[in-house]
Amino acid sequence: MKILVIVAHPCRESFNHAIAWKAAGTLKMNGHEVILHDLYEENFDPRLTCGEIPKNSEMGSEIKRHTGELAESQGLIFVHPNWWGQPPALLTGWIDRVLRPGVAYEFMEGDGGEGVPSGLLRGKRALVINTSNTPHDRETGFFGDPLDAIWKKCIFEFCGITDYFRKTFSVIVTSTHEMRCQWLSEVAGMVNDYFPRETG
């Protein structure tokens, strides 16, 4: 399988990067082809221009490459911190520019964009792995876990992905080396479950 891994954190020594490397390494051990993008390291431009908005607009080479990889992949893994109950702006910009109409979703004939779209990413599996400095009970009880709604309803189900799982590791700021090692073992386990070893 071809798996697209997207990590969005400005610090290469972050635990987010450790998660992404562990996920990518596990995928490769299982015989999968991995396409990994470190959006900050690559200086991805998150700005959606007016000219890019129309469905049939001309895309630059960078966006053509990303949309092509998205279309060709069978699996997706997103790794990012929880900032203000949402992904970092850089990842949000990637979503704006890459999950395009005609690539990730489309509206039915006669629908001007006001209806329910048809997802074009059906059949893909997805994992989202987040880090947070908010305890789980406060994140879900007080804040209502806004990332769950963003990824589940606003992104995956909108684009036709129904086979997905999201995991949050917290509290990062007080975590020990031993805890992080255990969490990385959990990452490998999740990847093994969702993208098992290729056979045949």
Kindly report, residue by residue over 47-61, the tens digit of the pLDDT.
999 999 888 888 899
Q: What CA–CA distance (Å, rounded) separates 33 from 56?
A: 30
pLDDT at residue 109 is higher than 80: no
Percent of the chain at pLDDT > 70 equals: 95
Beta bridge partners of 75: 3, 125
Name the pTM for this structure. Answer: 0.94
β-strand 125-131 against 75-81: which pairing, if any?
Answer: parallel
| DSSP strands (E only) in the chain | 2-7, 33-38, 75-81, 105-106, 118-119, 125-131, 163-169
Mean pLDDT, residues 170-180: 96
pLDDT at residue 113 is higher than 70: no
pLDDT at residue 77 is higher than 90: yes
Task: Give all domains of the chain, ordered by start, each with its CATH number.
Answer: 2-194 (3.40.50.360)
Beta bridge partners of 163: 125
Residue 112 burial by Cβ neighbours in a 10 Å radius (0-12, 13-18, 19+) = exposed
pLDDT at residue 189 is higher than 80: yes
pLDDT digit string (tens) for 117-137?
Answer: 899 999 999 999 999 988 777
pLDDT at residue 140 is higher than 70: yes
Average pLDDT, the chain: 93
Tell me the pLDDT band of 112, cut-offs 50, 70 and 90.
low
| pLDDT score for 196 | 95
| pLDDT score for 200 | 62
pLDDT at residue 144 is higher than 80: no
| pLDDT score for 18 | 98
Tell me the pLDDT band of 145, cut-offs 50, 70 and 90.
confident
Residue 104 DSSP class: T
